[in-house]
Structure formats: structure tokens, C-alpha cells
Structure 1
Amino acid sequence: MILVPAGGLSTTVPGLAQRVRTYLQQIAEAFEYLMEEDAGDGQPFIAALVISKARAGLSAPGFFDVAHRLGRFVGNPSGPEASAFHGAAFATTAAFWAAAAAETAERDIA
């Protein structure tokens, strides 16, 4: 099977799969970078807002690995402590960014 993407260049299914894997790896690296920045700035992990459908709404294991490396998570990425940590991180991050958006909107109005 050959797919023809926009632009007229053809690719094979395995070629497309490799590109998707590459993009996913780049996205994972970007989230790791953001987590490092957030930790350095003392902010909650914005990456906590990204969840895995396959993990019932938790972030992927890599999220917990990076959080552990940065000193914010201790435990099993598949255990109950992961669910508790992620729930708290998600809520804290959502509240942090909602407050930041409200502050920005307030400044824009003034």
C-alpha cells in the first residue's frame, strides 16, 4: 500500500509509521523539556494536563519517570501513588494556568 500525502510525495505504510514514531518521540522530548523548565521555575507541570487514553486518564509512564528524576514523584508509575500524584498535579496545574489566564485577561481589560 502506498499513501500520497499532501505535496504529492508518496510514502509506504512502514515509512509513515516511522515518521509518526519520530513525531511522538519529539513530542515526548518537548514535554520533558517543559517539565524541566517548570521544575526550575517552581511551577506545576503543564505536562500533567496531557493524559493517556490507554492509562485511564493518567499521564504516560515517562511523565512519572521525569517527575521522579526532578524530585517531585516517588512511587510506581503504575501504582496507586501515581494516580494520587497525577490527580493533584492535574488540579494544581489547571488552577495555576486558569489564574494566569484570568490575570492576563484582567490586564488586557485595564
Structure 2
Amino acid sequence: IRAVPMAVVLSVLFYSSVEIAPLGALYAVASGALASGLGYAIWYMALPHLRATTAATIQLSVPALAAVGGVIVLSEPVTLRLAVCSIAILGGVGLFIASKRGTAGSQ
């Protein structure tokens, strides 16, 4: 809510230089509506089958998975920073899931 006034001011200031390409608008709608919508639909179908702590931990992997998507789809470079951060995130999620499986099997 606090960002809306700044967005409105900037929109008014730069309105004359705005150019909307039809293909770009189509990509934006497809990305927002289709890709995000499909992702949320799949997530909310899986969510009832997960414990709250497992769901929260898996949700933490989203930035790393998005970065991998950027590498695959957009040919973004794989930097040392990206690799180390992705390994740390996904490794932590994997350790959590593995620890939960180990404790669930011992009960």
C-alpha cells in the first residue's frame, strides 16, 4: 500500500515514454496468468498432503528453482554466487526433508 503513491507518481511522470508492444503484453499476461496460475494450482493441490513445516521448508526452494529456470529458459549465466546459494538453499531443504523421514521411520 505504501508503494502505490510512488508507483502512481512515476507512472504519470513517464507516461509519455511508455510503449507497449503487443507481443510483450501477451508474454506478460501468459507469464502472470498461465505460469503463475498453474504453479499455484499445483502447489495448492499438493499442500493438503504436506505437514506445515514441510510445506514451509519446500517453499524456501522457490528462489533457487526460479534461478534454475532462468538459466534454462533465458540462458542466464551460472555464476559462482548462483551455484553456491542454490546449493545452500536446496541442500538445507534436502537435509530437512531427510531428517523428517529419518525421525518418521523411527517412531
Structure with the larger helix share: 2
- The TM-score by the shorter chain falls in which range? 0.3 to 0.5
TM-score (norm. length: structure 1): 0.37
Q: Which protein has the larger Cα radius of gyration, Structure 1 or Structure 2?
A: 2
TM-score (norm. length: structure 2): 0.38
